[in-house]
Each structure stands twice: as C-alpha cells, then as structure tokens.
Amino acid sequence: MFSELKQLPADPILGLSVKFKADTNPSKIDLGAGIYKDALGNTPVLACVKTAEQFRVDNETSKAYLGSAGSADFNDRITALILGDHKVIAEKRIKTVSTPGGTGALRIAGEFIKKCTPGATIWVSNPTWANHKGVFEAAGLIVKTYPYYDYENKCLDFDAMLDALKQVSKDDAVLLHACCHNPSGMDLNQEQWQQVAEVTKQVGFMPVVDMAYQGFGTDLDSDAYGLRLMADTVEQMIICSSCSKNFGLYRERIGACSIIGRSAIAADIISSVLLSVVRVAYSMPPAHGAAIVETILGSQELTTQWHGELAEMRNRINDMRQLLVDKIAENGVERDFSFITTQNGMFSFLGIDEAQVQRLQDEYSIYIVGSSRISLAGISADNVDYLAQSIAKVL
C-alpha cells in the first residue's frame, strides 16, 4: 500500500522554519513564522495565562470528556468576546463548539457546509492564508478566489472585490477576514464592511468570517466591527475564531466554530448537525486551552491583565511597522514603504520580487515567504538595522 506514495513538498512556511533553525549565521532573522515574538525574539507565556494554569492545576478534579461541544463555559465566553452583547445571543440563535485551534474551526465549518450543500463552492480572498485552500478542499468544497489586494498599488482592491461578490451564487459561501488580513495586513474599513454586508444580504451567499487575530488590530471591539455588523445584517453566518494569537495559546490548539441560524429552533437543528460533524472528525475537543481562556474571561482581574498584555503585543507590532519604514528610508531607499504603517496585524507584503526574496535568504540569512510576506513580529530594535540595510542592498 505505502509503496505507491510519492514525496510531497514541504509547506513553504514550515520549510522556512527548518532552514532558519539550521542556519548558523548569528545575524539570521525569521520573518516567516506567523507567531508573536517579543523584543528578545521569544514567544512568551502571558502572565495571565500562567495564573489561570495554576488555578486549573489546583482546582481540576477530573480528566473526563466534556462532550463533543467542549466546555459550555468557554463556548459562552468566547461567543460573548466575539459578538459582545449582540441580539443573536439573547435570541439563542447562535451555537458554538470548541475546536482544535482556528484551523479545526475552519475544517469543521467546511464539513458543515458540505453537509448542507454537497459540492458547494467557497470563495476566498486573493491572497489569503495559505492553508485556507487546503483545509476547505480537504473538507470536499470547491475553492475559488475573489480579488482583494492590489499588489501594484499596495492597497485594497475594493471595487473589484465588491463586483466579484455580486456575481457569487446564493448557494456558495464566502470567506471574509474579520481583521488583520493574513497575509496582506489590509483590512476593510467600516464603510466598506457596510457595503460588503449589504451585498451579502442581497446576493444571499453564506458568509464565513475567520477571526484569528481579534485584538491585534485596533482593539477587541473595533476588530470585531465587521463581524458584528454582518450578524446585524444577515440571518445566517459562520464564525471561526482562534485563541492562539490573542491569548498566546499556540500549542494548546483551542478555537471555536460558531454558527448563527434564523431562529432558536433553527439553531438547535444546526447544533445537532454540527455535533455530528465533530463526532466523526475528532470526537471531543481539547480542554486545557479552553479552561485557561474561560478562567481569564471569568475573572475581572485576569481579564484586565490580559487586556494590558494584549495591548503590549499589539503596540509592539505597530511600533515595528513604523520603525522598519523609517530605517529603510534612512538607508537611502527612495521607494515608498509607508503602506506598511497603514496596515493591521502581524503581516505585510514587502513588495519585492522572488529573486530579491531569495537573495535576502542566501546572502543575508533573512527568511521571508516567496510572496514577500513578512511577519512584523520577527523584527526588533536589535535586528531592524541589519534588516533594513539588507533590504536596501537587494533593491
């Protein structure tokens, strides 16, 4: 059976990490990995997480299964974090299940869509997170793209996006990034969200909102503006969220898939189908990460501490955006890189070509995805001069 297997290429981002670790250059910089790093290049455990973990150690009494939906407390609290005091919660029109990370939430969403409409198509932005296509295709969906980022002008290609969405079939699904678009960093503003929500309502397709970075853009509520507006506008939608970034719980693999129905009765039906999808996928979700999050969100003191730590991460990334732009200019580069400071979240495209990206890797040990997408979290005051000098040289 195994003799017919063929070697598959490594994931481009994971492959970069392997090369980075093997590189002996003391000046090497990893701008590929999509994880937060502090000024020392570490991905720390948040202090509020440490406290919540200790509370769990002291108070946990069983390792029994929680059920396919996961922790009811976590599900309620993460739903409130995403939607605030939105009416769909009071109307009992939303059902949430815990998932193995944001990727697990997306896969469950894909499987749920297939249950509803076998052979369905889901539209994703061009560009989008590299794993979106694979996750949805593995769930049996057809994946197509709509315009999103204007590479030449380094901005949102909004008119083309809106025109494309108007042509989508009402039986299709459309994936939208709630905030901190991965990989471009370009987000819809409030007026643009209003137009997208109206088109969604008029056409009737299913919106699937991926929110992996709530709190990394402007703040928790502002980053959820588009998602909440969409919930105001349409009767049905799917939300996939993750606690990997904003709680720093990468390896705990905890996220959520939330689905809004037209009524409480419809939501109960949705729940039954959703749980059947979970049952045959992974049966029960992991519990440790969920317990950490619900402990933090259940404590006013820990929630306040989390807000402060989240703001610290967000502000550091924004500071690095400005610092990189300033340092590139200081090195005599005339090309305008100020677009980097207008974006949100962890990522941006440098806008250099693949040959220049390869030179950065080969000659300067600076590791960037071939599309020129960089993770701003990999930049620090200690390495930004070397980075800017290297970029200037390849330009």
DSSP string, 178-232: -SS-TTT-----HHHHHHHHHHHHHH--EEEEEES-TTSSS-HHHHTHHHHHHHH
Residue 33 has a pLDDT of 85
pLDDT per position as a tens digit, 294-303? 999 999 999 9
Residue 394 CB contacts under 8 Å (≥ 6 apart), including other chains:
352, 356, 359, 360, 363, 364
pLDDT per position as a tens digit, 222-231? 999 999 999 9
Catalytic residues: 129, 210, 245
Average pLDDT, the chain: 96
The percentage of residues in the chain with a pLDDT greater than 90, rounded to a whole number, is 95
Peptide bond into 127 cis (omega under 30): yes
Residue 9 has a pLDDT of 81
Domains and CATH numbers, the chain: 11-44+302-394 (3.90.1150.10), 65-298 (3.40.640.10)
